[in-house]
Amino acid sequence: MQILVVGAGAIGGAMAVKLSRIGQVTMLTRRSQVVDLLKEGISLTSLDGSVEECHPCVVTQLDDDKWDLVLLCVRAYDLEDTLASILPFVKEDTPIVALTNGVVVGEMTALAGDRGVCASVDFGVGASGDGKYYIKIDGGIKIGDTVGGTVASRVKDMISDAIEVEVVEDIVASTYSKLIINAIITYTAVVTGSTLRDIIANCREVLDQIIYEAYAVAKASGIEPASYRKIVFRVFCRRDIIGGMFRSCVWKYMTDNYGDRTSTTAERIASGMKSEVDYITGYVVSLGKKAGKPTPINEAILDMVKRVERGELTPSISNLTGLKSLM
C-alpha cells in the first residue's frame, strides 16, 4: 500500500512510523531542509521506552498519483492550500484524511468531497527536530466521514493493524470535544506562560467558564460534544452538587496527569510562528455569534493570544486572573 503523509511535524512523523508497518510511506514537506534532516530515517519512542524506526521517502513535490491513502498532518490554517496543491496528484477514489486541530469538516467537504475523512487525534507526540519523535500521551484516532458514506470504514480497514482506530458517526462532536481541551490547555498556557498546574490552582473558575461557554455554544448549534478521556461535558456543565463534584475530580485528574505540561504552541509563537487559535478558541467565538450565545471569556483569550503573537502582550498568570471580572 502506498501511503502519502503530508507534513513532517509531530503528528506526521508519528503517523509515518506507525503506518510504515503496513505500507510504503512517503512524506511530503514544503521545506527542503527537512528532507536533509530526515534522510537517515525517523524514529518513534513509546512511553515504555521502546523505539521504532523507519525510512520513508521524503519529498518536496509530487509527480504521480500512486497513493492508496493520503493523510494531511498540517496546521489547520494550511489545510485548504495544501489540499488544493495535492489534489491533482490524488486519484478520485483515494481516501484523504485530515489530522488537524479544530473542526475542519467544512473545508474538507468543499475540497475533498465524499472521499474526505476528518480525524480527532487522541495521542500526544513531541519532536526533537532531527527525525526523532516521542509519544507523550498514548491513544489512537477517531475518524468520521465528512458527508456520510463508508470512506471512514475503508480507512479503518486499511490502517487498523498499525494504529487504534474508531469510526464515529458524528466527527464534528468528537473534534469539538478535542477543541475544548485544546482551548483550556494550549491557549491558557500561551497567555500565562505557566504550567497547567499553576493555571488550575489560580484560574480554575476561568477554565470552568471556557468550558461552560463552549458547551453552551455547541448545544445551541446542534452539537453534543463527545466525552474526551475523563471529561463528560454535559456532567461538567451541570450547575449542581453533582457537577461541582465532577469538576473537582476533572481538575484533580488534569493536575495529576498533565499538571507539569507547558505549551509547545507558546514556544512556536515565541519563535515567530503562527498559532491555530482561530480554529480553536476562534471557532467557539464564531459559532457563538452565529448561535446568539455570548462567549466573553473565550473572546478575551482569543484577543490576548493575538496580542501575544504580535508581541503586544507579555504572558502572565495575571492575564487570566484578570478575566474573573467578566464572569
Confidence of residue 262 (pLDDT cuts 50, 70, 90): confident
**Higher pLDDT, residue 259 or 5:** 5
pLDDT for 32 equals: 82
pLDDT for 213 equals: 97
Amino acid at 327: M
At 1-31, the pLDDT tens digits run 999 999 999 999 999 999 999 999 999 998 8
Phi, psi (5° rounding) for residue 162? -110, -25
Confidence of residue 36 (pLDDT cuts 50, 70, 90): confident
At 63-89, the pLDDT tens digits run 888 999 999 999 999 999 999 999 999
CATH class of 173-326: mainly alpha
Each domain of the chain, given as residue ranges in start order, spans 2-169, 173-326
Confidence of residue 248 (pLDDT cuts 50, 70, 90): very high
Beta bridge partners of 167: 143
Percent of the chain with pLDDT over 90: 80
Q: How far apart are CA 77 and CA 62, in angstroms?
A: 21
Q: For the domain bounded by 2-169, which CATH number is listed? A: 3.40.50.720
**Average pLDDT, integer, range 146-164:** 93
**Higher pLDDT, residue 33 or 214:** 214
Beta bridge partners of 57: 26
Alpha helices in 193-259 (DSSP H): 196-220, 233-236, 241-258
CB of 21 within 8 A of CB of 53? no
Long-range interactions of 298-303: CB distance < 8 A, separation 24+: 298/183, 298/210, 298/213, 298/214, 300/326, 301/183, 301/187, 301/188, 301/191, 301/210, 302/187, 302/277, 302/278
CB of 322 within 8 A of CB of 203? no
Helix (H) / strand (E) containing 185: helix 171-192
Q: Do domains 2-169 and 173-326 have the same CATH topology?
A: no
Task: Give the global pTM.
Answer: 0.91
